[in-house]
Amino acid sequence: MQPQEKFSSLLATFSFNPGASSSESSVVKKRKRDFEESPSKRAKRDVSELPPLQDRLEKYLDVIICGCNPGYTSALVGFHYGNTQNAFWRCLHRSGLTPRLLQPSEGPSLPELYGVGLTDLVVRPSHSFSDIPGQERKQSVLSLLQRIAYYKPRILALNSFTIWSDIASQLAKKEGLAGVTFKAPAGSAKPSFKLPQVERNREPCFLPWKFVYTDDSESRVTETLIIPMPGTSGANASYSLAEKVTFFKLIHDTLPRIKEGTFDTSHMGEIIVQIPQTFVVEPQTKLEE
């Protein structure tokens, strides 16, 4: 199969019309040229040269799901979780968070139609999250916390235990987190940001921490709960698809109680993030088809 045929086949999976060149956006055209390069030439190119993905966010969503960073395929096609080996879209559907199995190209509609937002800890694409230097990951934590404090979702789902480890490391050291304060959970003499035994027990649970908002009296959401999850990437073979779905299912099943105000969070520690005046809200636009 020739490169053009391969790209057309791939785009068909994402509901593109590769023949409609007159309506293709500049981003899509660039990604198309990238894909049509010979394998040897493409291998020499740095994946980080691909454009970053746009966050899909709105205020007061039911859940914002944060990934590590865009993988090569996602950056190439321009949609979150674009690799067909990633179980993300199946987990959304099987948990009940979406009524049907969506395609990656439908990601931009998640906030409006299903109350689900998408973002990443690190914006730079890479073949693997392990390719991202630790310093870059640490420097990305504050931006993520500010994003969550601005958009105020009911739940922040971390699509990899590693993401919480990076956040926890910064919170514990109090490094590079200007404007971030916290209050230890009830009954704790000293705050601990260690990941619960979720990895050992393989049982989904919310962290004993929450974001709290005191700067917006008109906000429909006053706190954000946090749930770490095993990554949905196909590279994560430690968890079966069924096990990954249970984490999404906890989100689905807990949301009604959160909205009703019957889910007890009084024991949780509080994370308070002050949003600086320099904070920039990324415009939410859609790729042209």
> What are 168-207's pLDDT values in tens digits?
999 998 888 999 999 988 877 778 888 877 666 688 999 9
Kindly state the average pLDDT of the residues 267-274: 94
pLDDT at 9 over 70: no
50 half-sphere exposure, CB direction, 13 A CA radius: 31
The domain ranges of the chain are: 3-45, 52-273
Q: Please report which confidence band the pLDDT of residue 27 belongs to, taking 50, 70 and 90 as the band edges.
A: low
> What are 59-95's pLDDT values in tens digits?
999 999 999 989 999 999 999 999 999 999 999 999 9
Token pair listed for 141: 């934590």
pLDDT at 257 over 70: yes
Higher local confidence (pLDDT), 105 or 127: 105
Superfamily of structural domain 52-273: Uracil-DNA glycosylase-like domain (3.40.470.10)
Interatomic CA distance for residues 82 and 71, integer angstroms: 8
Q: Please report which confidence band the pLDDT of residue 7 belongs to, taking 50, 70 and 90 as the band edges.
A: very low
- Mean pLDDT for all residues in the chain: 84
Higher local confidence (pLDDT), 157 or 188: 157
| Positive or negative torsion for Cα 164, 167, 170, 171 | negative
Predicted local confidence at residue 186, as pLDDT: 80
Complete edge-to-edge strand list for the sheet that includes strand 116-120: 116-120, 63-67, 155-158, 223-228, 209-212, 269-273, 180-183
pLDDT at 228 over 60: yes
Predicted local confidence at residue 134, as pLDDT: 86
Predicted local confidence at residue 44, as pLDDT: 41
Predicted local confidence at residue 3, as pLDDT: 46
Predicted local confidence at residue 281, as pLDDT: 80
> What are 210-222's pLDDT values in tens digits?
999 987 667 789 9
Kindly state the average pLDDT of the residues 27-54: 64
From first CA to last CA, the distance across the chain in angstroms is 24
Higher local confidence (pLDDT), 281 or 139: 139
Predicted local confidence at residue 40, as pLDDT: 43
Lowest mean pLDDT among 106-115, 125-134, 149-158, 161-170: 125-134
Predicted local confidence at residue 181, as pLDDT: 93
Predicted local confidence at residue 131, as pLDDT: 87
Interatomic CA distance for residues 143 and 156, integer angstroms: 14
Query: b/e per residue, 37-75, with b = 16+ CB within 10 A?
Result: eeeeeeeeeebeebbebbbbbeeebbbbbbbbbbbbbbb
